[in-house]
Amino acid sequence: MKCNGSQILIEVLIEQGVDTVFGYPGGAVLNIYDALYLNSDRIRHVLTAHEQGASHAADGYARATGKTGVVIATSGPGATNLVTGIATAYMDSVPMVAITGNVGTSLIGKDSFQEVYIAGITMPITKHNFVVRHVEELADVLRDAFRIANTGRPGPVLVDIPKDVTAAVCEFQNKPRLEIDQSFDLRESDLKRIAEVINQAERPVIYFGGGVVCSGAADDLRRLMKKAEIPATWTMMAAGTLPPDDPLNLGMIGMHGKVSAGRAVDRSDVLLSIGARFSDRVATDTNRFAPDARIIHVDIDAAEINKNILTDDSLVSDAKTFLREILPYIHEARHAEWMTKITDWRQRLDYRPKDSETRLRPERVIKIISEVAGPEAIFATDVGQHQMWAAQYCGRIKPRQFLTSGGLGTMGYGYGAAIGAKFGCPDKPVVHITGDGSFHMNLNELCTTVTYEVPVVTVIMNNSVLGMVRQWQTIFYGQRYSHTTLDRKTNYVKLAEAFGAQGFRCTTPAEFKAALSAALSHKGPTIIDCVIDRDERVLPMIPPNGSIDDIIAD
């Protein structure tokens, strides 16, 4: 059949299983938006307040559902407004297809109105990008974009389409959706070699990250842990993979991870890393990280092997294939002495925050959210102290329940991500956990939740400072608080009401619990302003370039 470029775009999106896209219209994408209007019964478009919010919504949708997130923006400033969201997805390996309009092909390179070379701008932050100059290429380019976004290590792909290409007509034929096989052919000799090291270990630890979530390998991981009694620690990107009450769950590792988890890695004799990248927030001092361990690194991306930490053995594989194929070679084992030691560290070393009934402590706020919102709730955070408190105490029991910007550390990520998660998982409660600094970055998306009656609950940890930066200034900069005090007079209750939402202000646990219960039963969005002390700190903390021996615990 004959179709114009815009209709081809719609047909391929539907062919690829897309039912929801996020975006913002403009001149260069008018043809695309006309096609969206004509096909509104087949594909849903969510209009955000800003293109950055749309990019984060596509990201949150992808993380919560496991599908590919799709975002659409016009040329020039519309396209450049996607850059932070694309970079966020790239750093955290999130499958996303970003579709941008551009000026007509005859106007490219002439400094035309709203012209920008978005393919060049995004080259370092995408797996691949395309500029489509001929309508005959469009369908297969779009199919390639979805294939690339989901093959190997997931990530964003950008497709830039000049306006005349969206209007041009050519023959189009639907094709079956390509089923992507992520499995790797692993050699038996490699599996036996690695299994032998694990079987001989006396103090083994598994360290895993977002790669386990991406490949849907949580159950496979638990089977290995249980069979060989191997405790596991995880990065923030893997929060929720293990139930909090699992005795083999060491908790989060890293700069603000559990002391016992850091100590277990430090004293391990074999460290099996699966789908993690040894970032500077985990291997804070590479020379002192797991000094006595034989390190085995399994990752889908060969470029990650030996990038940050030199390993003793490695395997390029997705987490699911590796865990399934190595399991038969792993012996049933028990490490009673090792687990006794870890239990002792947990009891003696792990940080236990003080509680209060008369004022809001941040750790208590997170625990109340976890309790009241329930085990199926999805949490989306921004970046700062609240992010770390949420990761430490969120109590999620399944993967894809904790959405956060781990690699890029994007303030303003959380609200868009929460919106995307709610559209992708409408039957699950979604709570956006933020700080007053982060919330101001993209608070305009409140109009999106109001317009679509999206019942996202936003909990603001309001300490009137940029808490994490101020914490560093307190510890490392002699309490010289340079531009981290937020002397803003924002009334969040009135702000919520001005947008058409409801708002609450809380200063005690009882007030917060009541407000949260009311918010979760409300049909629209809610803002809850939680007033906390500006001197609250995220603990424990490993100083930059430090090790577990340098831990700050009080």
Active site residue 114: yes
Task: Give the CATH number of domain 2-171.
Answer: 3.40.50.970
Phi, psi of 99 (to 5 degrees): -110, 120
Catalytic pick among 468, 473, 512, 541: 468
Closest CA to 319 of 208, 177, 475, 172: 208
Q: Do domains 2-171 and 188-349 have the same CATH topology?
A: yes
Q: At what angle do helices 135-150 and 5-15 cross, to 10 degrees?
A: 30
Domain spans, the chain: 2-171, 188-349, 362-531
Tell me, yes or no, if 7 is annotated catalytic: no
CB 90 within 8 A of CB 41: no
Examine the residue annotation and report whether 113 is marked as an active-site residue of this protein: yes
C-alpha dist (Å) from residue 186 to 183, 313, 316, 325: 9, 14, 9, 8
Active-site annotation holder among 11, 51, 304, 363: 51
Locus of tokens 């969510």: 46
CB atoms within 10 A of CB 291: 11
Q: In a 3-state reduction of DSSP, which class is residue 64?
A: helix
Q: What is the pTM of this model?
A: 0.96
Q: Which of 16, 127, 163, 512 is catalytic?
A: 163
pLDDT tens track of the chain, all 554 residues? 899 999 999 999 999 999 999 999 999 999 999 999 999 999 999 999 999 999 999 999 999 999 999 999 999 999 999 999 999 999 999 999 999 999 999 999 988 999 999 999 999 999 999 999 999 999 999 999 999 999 999 999 999 999 999 999 999 999 988 888 777 899 999 999 999 999 999 999 999 999 999 999 999 999 999 999 999 999 999 999 999 999 999 999 999 999 999 999 999 999 999 999 999 999 989 999 999 999 999 999 999 999 999 999 999 999 999 999 999 999 999 999 999 999 999 999 999 998 888 899 999 999 999 999 999 999 999 999 999 999 999 988 899 999 999 999 999 999 999 999 999 999 999 999 999 999 999 999 999 999 999 999 999 999 999 999 999 999 999 999 999 999 899 999 999 999 999 999 999 999 999 999 999 999 999 999 999 999 999 999 999 989 999 999 88
Counting Cα atoms < 13 Å in the Cβ hemisphere of 421 gives 28
Helix (H) or strand (E) holding 207: strand 204-208
Out of 3.40.50.2300, 3.30.420.240, 3.40.50.1220, 3.40.50.300, the CATH code matching 188-349 is 3.40.50.1220
Active site (annotated) includes residue 51: yes
Element (H or E) spanning 263, and its range? Answer: helix 259-267
User: Is 52 known to be catalytic?
Assistant: no
Write out the H or E segment, with its range, that includes residue 29. none
CATH for 362-531, options being 3.30.70.120, 3.40.50.150, 3.40.50.970, 3.40.50.2300: 3.40.50.970
